[in-house]
Amino acid sequence: MYRKDRVKKIQSKIKKLAIEKNIGWCDDPQSANYNRLIKLPTNYNYEKLYRKDNIYDIIVVLNYNMNPTIKNKGSAIFIHVAKKNYKKTEGCIAIKKNELLKLIRKIKISTKVKILNRK
């Protein structure tokens, strides 16, 4: 997903979706749409995708807890644009915008993301 008002040219082998003001990502385990893209407004808790800051200018949705979706196992697990100084995320992966643009040119629907914890 991407903000077409902020990212003019995006090349990708995976499906692209423009982020509009009326979409979000449901993170409410009480909803039948838990861990799914939703239309707003809604009565359930959700992650706002159209934001003032730039972290969701580009979002790659990871196939985490998607099929099947298990309530309370986690939702909205993305690769997105990093905050300044790489401030921590809420469980996502964040990288520089230009690096994310390079990454999405290379990945395919079959690409596997392996997350390593290196301390």
pLDDT above 90 for 44: yes
For residue 114, being part of any structural domain is answered with no
Q: Does residue 58 fall inside a structural domain? A: yes
**Cα separation of 69 and 32, whole Å?**
10
Q: How many CB atoms lie within 10 A of CB 87?
A: 9
Residues 48-68: tens digit of each pLDDT: 999 999 999 999 999 999 999
Interacting residues of 30 by C-beta distance below 8 A, sequence separation 6+ = 44
3-state SS, residue 105: helix
pLDDT digits over 93-108, tens only? 999 999 999 999 999 9
Structural domains counted in the chain: 1
User: Do the domain assignments include residue 111?
Assistant: no
101: left (phi > 0), else alpha (psi -120 to 50), else beta?
Answer: alpha
Answer whether residue 50 is part of any domain: yes
Tell me the residue range of the domain where 90 lies.
23-106
pLDDT band at residue 115 under the 50/70/90 scheme: confident
Over residues 110-118, mean pLDDT = 80
